[in-house]
Structure 1
């Protein structure tokens, strides 16, 4: 009889605990919270460092002095499939390797929930650009100051990847520039969708940090190989389309912190 009573008490204790946890979970997913997207640039498997020599698959030795890209139009997906679109007026960021503070995007006022993926653009979408200079808000001035525009009529630079290189045919360091953006009839804006390796728990008391790895080598050494020895400046034409196609493969998520 004592054994049965102990079992009953144990079952009741577990039930009460589960009920309590369930109530806590329900309370925790109300309100709003924040989420951080951290961009960690690499060069292949190496932690990226400016003005450091890296060798690409074309046997060119590359030293990068500028690595910048625009992240925009962020959309978060919950585990139930519903989405939250970050306000467009706040959804344009310049990630600049030379400015550490820009590597973490602080997103605020996000509905509390369990999030499983993120989608974002690289560049400024055409609809936004077509809103005209007065429709850009503060971002136009930021892009101009950062050197992420050619001119208003030419539009934004979506990616700016610059430095010097040498090769078997180029013995003295030569400057290279790879810029993506609007060229002629091609707009070259692209979107990236990444699944989280574990759920990001946005709560009023929890701010998840999503650690995104950005392999800069993919720009010229991804599925499409760009020989800088053949063209040290890539800002248009067929090669730019190849660079743009490489962009989406740059990004992977390493981990998610829920603390």
Structure 2
């Protein structure tokens, strides 16, 4: 009888611990928290340094980059159970500028607590948003103007602004280049990127995860599609790619520009 009673007490104790753990887990994933997405620009395997760093493409061209800016938009997060969270559209437009440290981290608020496995975002401003007209853009229109990320309202936003100087076997002195993506003719050139996280981002009321995204800017012209700046050299104006048949190829390259290095759950 004594053994039976002892076993019953042990089972009850284990059950109590398991229920307690379950309750604690449930409590840990309720409420809302924050999530930070950090964009760290690189050129190939090297951290990007503006103006002075010589960066060589697979086409043998050497670039010194003076500016890289891009618009991040329409963020969607996927949970471990497959459900998705679309960040509020009106709050989902950001400009990442290598020259402005504060722009490298995007803080997302009021994220339901949970374990997140994927992030999707747009590069540029989606056509539906642009079609709302100038008055439908809210504060972002002014932000884009101030950042030089608007050609004009009628021409639309610049989605990516990539600029600097280059040399090649045929262009032996530093020559300027400008690569801008955005709406051109019938091509809108907006694209979206989906990244699977190497470990879950654990959003909690007490934990703000940080997703560290590497943006390899070499991929803009040196991705799946190889674009030679020297082929676009316009003499005294330098190499300019802002439209034409190469811009959709560059837009396609942007899908391979981003990767997740790691996730901090601190």
Fold shared, TM-score > 0.5 on shorter chain:
yes
- Is 1:84 equivalent to 2:91 in the alignment? no
Structure 2 distance, partners of 1:2, 1:198, is 49
1:22 paired residue number: 22
2:263 paired residue number: 256
Structure 1 distance, partners of 2:170, 2:86, is 49
1:38 paired residue number: 38
Structure 2 distance, partners of 1:86, 1:248, is 20
SS in 1 for 2:166: strand
Equivalent positions of 1:25-174 (< 5 A) are: 25-51=25-51, 52-174=53-175
- Superposed displacement of residue 22, structure 1: 1.5
Moved over 4 A (4+): 1-15
For residues 136-161 of structure 1, give each alpha carbon's deviation from its aligned partner in whole angstroms, at most 9, with x where no partner exists: 00000000000001000000000000
- Superposed displacement of residue 81, structure 1: 1.1
For residues 186-209 of structure 1, give each alpha carbon's deviation from its aligned partner in whole angstroms, at most 9, with x where no partner exists: 000000001111111111111110
Change in Cα spacing, 1:16 to 1:155, as seen in structure 2 (3 Å) is same
2:251 paired residue number: 244
For residues 76-126 of structure 1, give each alpha carbon's deviation from its aligned partner in whole angstroms, at most 9, with x where no partner exists: 111111111111110000000000110000000111111111110000000
Change in Cα spacing, 1:68 to 1:14, as seen in structure 2 (3 Å) is farther
For residues 14-48 of structure 1, give each alpha carbon's deviation from its aligned partner in whole angstroms, at most 9, with x where no partner exists: 55443322111101111111100010111111111
Structure 2 distance, partners of 1:60, 1:14, is 67
Structure 1 distance, partners of 2:47, 2:125, is 27
SS in 1 for 2:229: coil
Change in Cα spacing, 1:7 to 1:60, as seen in structure 2 (3 Å) is farther
- Superposed displacement of residue 5, structure 1: 9.5
Query: Which sits farther off after the overlay, 194-203 or 85-94?
Result: 194-203
- Superposed displacement of residue 67, structure 1: 0.5
Gaps of 5+ in 1: none
CA RMSD of aligned residues (A): 1.9
TM-score (normalised: structure 2): 0.92
> How many corresponding residue pairs?
259
SS in 2 for 1:237: coil
